[in-house]
Amino acid sequence: MSDFISFFAQSLPKLLDGLSITLFLTFLSLILGFLLGISLALGRIYTPKIISWLCIGYIEIIRGTPLLVQLFILYFGLPSVGIRLTPITAAVIGLSLNSGAYQAEYLRGSIQSIKSGQMIAARTLGMTKIQAVAHVILPQSLRTSIPAWSNELIYLLKYTSIAYIIQVVELTAEGKFIAADTFRYLEIFTMIAIIYLSLTVLFTEIIDRIEHRIRIPGLGTKRTTLLRDA
Amino acid sequence: MHMLEVKNLHKRYGASEVLKGVSFTMDKGETKVVIGPSGTGKSTLLRCINQLHPPEKGQVFLEGVEITDPSVDINKIRQKIGFVFQDFNLFTHLNALRNVSVGLEKVLKMEKEEAEKRAMHELKHVGLGKFAERYPAELSGGQQQRVGIARALAMDPIIILFDEPTSALDPELIGEVLEVMQSLAGEVTMLVVTHEMGFARNVADEIMFMEGGCIIESGSPKQMFTSPKHKRTGEFLGKIASLYGEE
Amino acid sequence: MVSLEFDVLINALPQLLRGLENTFILTAASLLIGSIMGIFMAVGRTFGNKIVSTAIYLYEKIFRGIPLLVIFFLIYFGLSQIGINFEPFVAVVIGLGLRSAAYQAQIFRAALNSIPEGQSIAARSMGMSKVQSIRHILLPQVLRLSIPGWSNEFTIVLKDTSIAFSIGVIELMRQGRYIYVLHPEMILPILLLIALIYFVLVISINKGLSVLEKKYRMKGFDLTVDR
C-alpha cells in the first residue's frame, strides 16, 4: 500500500501536467463550440433556405462521422494540402467543430420547445425578428439548454483523451507514458479513472447548483433532443 | 377620418377561403365586438389587421395610412396596434413587470427606469401592482391575461385587438378580465372577438355577427339582441344567450 | 501534395471492407452485451432493493464518468498485469459493451418509468406475479419506447469503434491506416472515404430505426427520452 502511495506521489506531477492540458482542451472547445453552436442553431432556424441547408449539412456530417476521423483529417490529412497544425491546435479545432454541431442541436431543441405564441407576441409589440430572438427566444432557450450543456462538458472532458491518438500529451497520454516505463498499467489507469470520475462528479454538481440559482419558475426543462452523454 | 378602416378583406388558407370580403370602420373610442360560430374567420380577421397573416385581397387603413401596403414599416405600425391573445403568450422568462416593460425598452427605446415606471403604472391600472415581481407561472390565468392587457396598454396603442381574451380561462376568472376591459371602454378603441354576450351587450357600441367569412349583420347591441334583421343572427344570439343563462 | 489516383482507392476498397466487417462485429457484439446487461440493470434499479439499486447506480456513474480509452487500457493492459489476458478485439468488445450497458440501462429505465403505474397495478390485480407483469406488460412497451434512444446509442457505439484503433484492433480506421501508410499522398482522400463510409452507415441506421419506430408506434403515447 505504501508502495502504491509513493508511486502515486511520484506520478502525480506528470499527471497534473497532462490534466492541465485536458482541462485546457475541454474548456476551450466547449466555449468555441458554444459560439459555433449558437450560430449554427440560429442559422438553421432563422435564415433563408440556402444558409439553412448549409448549417443542416454541416451538423449532419459532423454528427455522422467519428471524432477520431475528424481529428485525423485535421492532423494527418491537412498537411498534404499544405496546412500543418500542431497536435494541440488540431485537437482544439477538431473538438470545437465537433462540439459546435452537437450544441447546435441541443439549442435547436430548446428553441423549438418555446411556444410559438411568444414569438408572435413579441412581433405584435413591434419587435423585429432579431429583437424577438435576442430578447425573448434566446434568454429562454439558453436557460433550458443548461442540462444539455453540462452533458456536453462531461462528454468533452472524456473525449479529449482521444487527442492522445494525435499526439497531444494530455492526461491519458501521460498515463500511458508512465505505464510504458513502469509497466504498472493497472495502478496508473485506476488513478486516472479516479481523476476523471472526480471531475465528472464535481462539474455536474457545480452546474446543477448554477442551474438552481438562475432558475425561473415555469421555465421548463423538457428535453426533446437526445443527448450524447449523461 | 376613421381610426380604422377595413376594406374588402379576403384571406385563404390552402383551398378554403376564410375571409370573403370583410369591410367595416371604427372611430376613436369605439368598442366593437365580433361574434359568431367558431371557425368563421374571426381570429383570422384580427390577425389580418395587424398583418400577422397578410390578406390576399383588400386593404386596411390605420388613421388614414394604408398598412397593407408592402412598403410600409410594419414593425412601426404594430407599435400602435395592441394585441391580446387567447393564450396570453406572456414571456415565460420575465416577471410581470418586465413583461410589460420589455416592449417599451426594446421597441420604443425608453430608458429602463422610465419603462419600468410606466409598466408599474399599467400593472396598477389592471389591479396587479402587488404582483409585479411574479413570473407568469406563478400567476393565475386571469392574472396572466391582465398582464397581457397591461403589456398591450403600455405601448400606448391607438387600438387594441382582443382575440377571445377569456376563452382559455376558468369561469371564475373571466370576470376580472372583463372588468378591466370594461374600464377601458370609451378611452381605448377596442375590437373584441368573444363569446361573452354579457360584455357584448353591456359594453359594445356595435356588435358584428360573422359567419362563413362574412359579416352577416351589424348594429347596436339593443338592435341585435331584440330585433335582428337576419334569421341567422337571431338564431345564434338566441342559442348563445340561453347557453349563458341570459334571458 | 494530394493526388487522387482512383485506382488506388478502388483497390483499397476490399481492404477497407474487411476492416468494416470487424467494425460491424465489434458494434453488434458490444450492443448486444450492452442491451442484455442494460435491461437487467434497468429492471434492477426500478424494482430491486436498496443494495442492488445502489450498486447499479454506482456502476452507471463509473462507466459513464471515465473515457472509453481509459476503459480499454484498463481491460487490455491493466488486467494482463494480473494475469488476465484478452485479445485486443475481445478487450474492445468487453469495454464497449460494459460502457454501453451503463447508457442503455438509462434508456430502458426512462422508458420503463414513462409507463403509467396504473398498468402494473392492473396487471397485478389480475393475478400476475411481479415477473409476469414485467415480462408481459412492461417489457413489450419498453422496447418500443426505447427505439429513439437506442438508435442514438447504436450510432455512438458504431462511431466509437474507431477508438479501438488505439489498441491495435484491425477495424476500419486501422485498415485505412495500412493503406495510406503505403500511399502517403492519398491520405486525405482515404480519410474522407472512411468518413463517408461511417456517414452512410449512420444515416442508414437512423433512417432504418426511425422506420421501425413508426411501424411500432403506439398511438397516443409519445416518449421524450432523456439520456
Q: Buried b / exposed e across C118-139, counting CB within 10 Å, b at 16+? A: eebeebeeeebeeeebbeebbb
Per-residue pLDDT at C118: 78
A113 pLDDT band (50/70/90 cuts)? confident
B28-36 average pLDDT score: 94
**Count of residues for chain C?**
227
Tell me which of C224 and A168 has the higher pLDDT.
A168
Determine, yes or no, domain membership for C154: yes
Q: By CA distance, what is A57's nearest residue in C? A: C199
Which DSSP state fits C162?
G
Q: Would you say residue C224 has pLDDT above 50? A: no
Q: Would you call A69 and C73 a contact, using CB atoms and an 8 Å cutoff? A: no
Cβ neighbors of C36 (< 8 A, separation 6 or more) are: none
Rounded Cα distance, A50 and A56, in Å: 10
Whether residues A64 and C202 touch (CB distance < 8 A) is answered with yes
User: What average pLDDT is seen over chain B?
Assistant: 90
Average pLDDT over residues C162-191: 91
pLDDT tens-digit readout, B215-246: 999 999 988 888 888 888 888 887 776 766 55
Q: Report the pLDDT value the prediction gives residue C142, as an integer from 0 to 100.
A: 86
**HEC sequence for B113-176:** HHHHHHHHHHHHHCCCHHHCCCCHHHCCHHHHHHHHHHHHHHCCCCEEEEECCCCCCCHHHHHH
A2-213 under CATH 3.30.420.40, yes or no: no
Burial, C198: exposed, middle or buried (Cβ in 10 Å; 0-12, 13-18, 19+)?
buried
pLDDT value for A86: 96
pLDDT band at A211 (very low <50, low <70, confident <90, very high): confident
| Per-residue pLDDT reduced to its tens digit, C104-142 | 999 999 998 888 777 777 877 777 777 887 887 788 888
Nearest Cα residue in chain A from C196: A65
Query: In angstroms, rounded to a whole number, what is the distance separating the alpha carbons of residues C155 and C159?
Result: 6
Q: Is residue C221's pLDDT more than 60? A: no
Q: Write out pLDDT tens, residues B122-148.
A: 999 999 999 999 999 899 999 999 999
Using an 8 Å CB-CB cutoff, list chain A residues near B77: 126
What values do phi and psi take at B90, rounded to 5? Answer: -70, 155
| Contact residues on chain C for A176, CB-CB shorter than 8 A | 73
Nearest to A114 by CA among A140, A148, A149: A140
> Cβ contacts (< 8 Å) between B76 and chain A: which residues?
126
Spatial distance between the Cα atoms of A147 and A215, rounded to a whole number of angstroms:
12
Determine the pLDDT at residue C218: 62
Decide if B96 contacts B132 (C-beta within 8 A).
yes
A interface toward B at CB cutoff 8 Å? Answer: 114-115, 117-118, 120-128, 131, 135-136, 139-140, 143, 216-219
User: How buried is B112 (Cβ within 10 angstroms: 0-12 exposed, 13-18 middle, 19+ buried)?
Assistant: exposed
Mean pLDDT value of segment A27-34? 97
Instruction: Tell whether the model's pLDDT for residue C76 goes beyond 80.
Output: yes
Cβ-nearest to B91 among A136, A143, A217: A136
CB distance B75–A127 less than 8 Å? yes
The helix (run of H) or strand (run of E) holding residue B31 is strand B31-35
Indicate the pLDDT class of residue A225, thresholds 50, 70 and 90.
low
pLDDT at position B244: 61
Mean pLDDT of all residues in B5-25: 91
- CB distance A31 to A95 below 8 Å: no
Weakest-pLDDT range from C84-88, C90-94, C116-120, C163-167 = C116-120
Which residues from chain A sit within 8 angstroms of residue B151, using beta carbons?
125
* Cα–Cα nearest to A145, from A30, A56, A47, A43: A30
* Average pLDDT value for residue range C12-26: 92
d(CA C168, CA B69): 69
| Residue C8 banded pLDDT, cuts 50, 70, 90 | confident
pLDDT of the residue at B225: 85
Query: What is chain A's Cα-based Rg?
Result: 21
Q: Which cell numbers hold the place of A77?
A: 490529412
Among A103-107, A223-227, B75-79, C107-111, the range scoring the smallest mean pLDDT is: A223-227
Q: Which residues are B65's β-sheet partners?
A: B62
- What does the pLDDT look like over A83-94, one tens digit per residue? 999 999 999 999
Distance of alpha carbon C209 from alpha carbon C151, whole angstroms: 6
CA distance A125 to chain B (A): 6
Give the nearest partner residue to B93 out of A121, A128, A143, using CB atoms: A143
Q: Is the pLDDT of residue C71 over 60?
A: yes
Q: Which pLDDT score is estimated for B14?
A: 82
Tell me the pLDDT tens digit for each residue of B72-123: 888 888 889 999 999 888 998 889 999 999 989 988 999 999 999 999 999 9
- The pLDDT of residue A226: 67
What ranges do the domains of chain A cover?
2-213
pLDDT recorded at residue C225: 33
CB contact under 8 A, B52 and A122: no
Using the structure block, give the residue that is written with the C-alpha cell 370580403: B21
The answer to whether C65 contacts A172, with C-beta atoms less than 8 Å apart, is no
At residue C226 the predicted structure's pLDDT band, cuts being 50, 70 and 90, is very low
Q: Which residues are registered as beta bridge partners of B66?
A: B61
Domain with residue C48: its CATH number is 1.10.3720.10
| β-strands B65-66, B57-62 pairing | antiparallel
What's the one-letter identity of residue C188?
L
Give A76-81's long-range contacts (Cβ < 8 A, gap of 24+): A76/A166, A76/C180, A76/C187, A76/C191, A77/C187, A77/C188, A77/C191, A77/C192, A78/C188, A80/C1, A80/C2, A80/C184, A80/C185, A80/C187, A80/C188, A81/C2, A81/C188
Give the residues across from B26 on adjacent strands. B4
Which residues are within 8 A (CB) of A91 and not within 5 positions of it... i.e. 6 or more apart?
A25, A71, A75, A160, A163, A166, A168
State whether A216 and B151 contact (CB < 8 Å). no
Rg (CA), chain C: 21
Which three cell numbers, joined as nine digits, stand for C157?
457505439
Q: Which residue has the higher pLDDT, B14 or C74?
A: C74
Of A114, A120, A219, the CB nearest to B52: A120
Measured CA to CA, the distance from residue A77 to residue A166 in angstroms comes to 12
More confident residue, A27 or A218: A27
A56 burial (CB, 10 Å; 0-12 / 13-18 / 19+) is: middle
The Cα diameter of chain C in Å comes to 74
pLDDT confidence tier of residue A230, bands split at 50, 70 and 90: low
Q: What is the pLDDT of residues A119-146, one digit of tens each?
A: 999 999 999 999 999 999 999 999 889 8
- pLDDT classification of B247: cutoffs 50, 70, 90: very low
Would C226 be classed as within a structural domain?
Answer: no
Domains (ranges, CATH) in chain B? 4-15+30-243 (3.40.50.300)
Amino acid (1-letter code) at residue A18? G
pLDDT tens digits for range B198-220: 899 999 999 999 998 999 999 99
- Asked if B102 has any chain A CB less than 8 Å from its own CB, the reply is yes
Contact C144, C217 (CB under 8 A): yes
| Residue numbers in A near B106 (CB within 8 A) | 127, 131, 135
Number of domains in chain C: 1
- Judge whether C86 lies within some domain: yes
| Dihedral-angle region of residue B3 (phi above 0 means left; psi in -120 to 50 means alpha; beta otherwise) | alpha
Q: What is the mean pLDDT of chain A?
A: 91
pLDDT at A31 over 60: yes
CA-CA distance, C110 to C225, in Å (whole number)? 7
pLDDT at A219 over 80: no
Its domain, for residue C150, covers: 6-216
State yes or no: pLDDT of C223 exceeds 50.
no
Report the gap between the CA of A53 and the closest CA in chain C (Å).
17
What is the arrangement of strands in the sheet containing B16-26, beginning at the earlier edge strand?
Answer: B16-26, B4-13, B57-62, B65-66
Q: What angle do CA B58, B59, B63 make, to 5 degrees?
A: 165
Spatial distance between the Cα atoms of C41 and C56, rounded to a whole number of angstroms: 6
